[in-house]
Amino acid sequence: MEIKGKKAIIVGGASGMAKASAELLREKGADVAILDLPTSAGGEVNKELGGAGFFPLNVLDDQETEAAIAGAAEALGGIHIAVNTAGGGIGKRTLTREGPHPISEFRHVVELNLISSFNVSRLAAHHMANNEPEDEERGIIIITASIAAFEGQIGQVAYTAAKAGIAGMCLTMARDLGSLGIRALAIAPSLFGTGLTAGIPEEFEKELTKDAAFPKRMGRPEEYGRLVIAMVENPMLNGQCIRLDAGQRFAPK
């Protein structure tokens, strides 16, 4: 897909990997809308980018999410590209000294990551289906898994389940949407310098990334964004979850 002139929604776009993706898409000539929490810096980021608007949402709220995506689609004049990095996790074992993993906390992590990712994807696809095709293509959906989907660490059982679900639904989603010319992909990052890991001391970073093949460091947000660009521009990429991990495999802990 040619990026110039296309319309992109960036969920989680106020910071980190999503913000970097928005910046690179803008450099390539896309129009972007930023969707993130009301308390985020989404408004400022939108102004910096000269975007189509900031649309606050909490991805755990279905109606709020639907309204924000509809508002962004209206402001942009359509949606061709949807990038979503919203999510998060907790550290808790299946069985702790206090008792079994609270089911409400497990359910919350699955809602925050897996279910919200599907919700954003289905809503974006609904708007993409109205696009005039370009070389038979109408849109691309990019969601965010994690290498924890494949080798989750001790205490990541809820997060692993949610991210594995994201990785697992890509092919089925791509098959569901293929007749419409809409692609579906996921990115599975290792440790990236965003959020809680941004700015940690160098010695901690080295310890966390010692098992990587090369480079032995945390990923940079723009490296996620560069993979987004490659995915958008290459129509043969579809239905898969691509690791972005410098050859790292998580140890048990």
Name every residue whose Cβ is closer than 8 Å to that of residue 126 and which is 6 or more positions away in sequence. Answer: none
- What is the reported pTM? 0.97
Cα dihedral value 59, 64, 65, 70, nearest 10: -160
How many Cβ atoms from other residues are within 10 Å of residue 180's Cβ? 17
Contact assessment for residue 58 and residue 36, using Cβ atoms and an 8 Å cutoff: no
Q: In the chain, how many H helices and how many E strands?
A: 9, 9
The whole-number pLDDT of residue 17 equals 98
Question: In CATH, what is the architecture of 7-244?
Answer: 3-Layer(aba) Sandwich (3.40)
Going from N- to C-terminal start, the domains of the chain cover 7-244
Cross-strand partners of 34: 10, 54
The whole-number pLDDT of residue 203 equals 85
Consecutive sets of 10 residues in the chain, 253 residues long: mean pLDDT of each? Answer: 98 98 98 98 98 98 98 98 98 97 98 98 98 98 98 97 98 98 98 82 88 96 98 98 97 92
Contact assessment for residue 188 and residue 246, using Cβ atoms and an 8 Å cutoff: no
Of the residues 159, 192, 224, 250, which is catalytic?
A: 159
| Structure tokens belonging to residue 195 | 């959020």
Indicate if 224 belongs to the active site: no
The whole-number pLDDT of residue 204 equals 84
| Structure tokens belonging to residue 218 | 């945390």
Assign 31 to helix, strand or coil: strand
The whole-number pLDDT of residue 198 equals 74
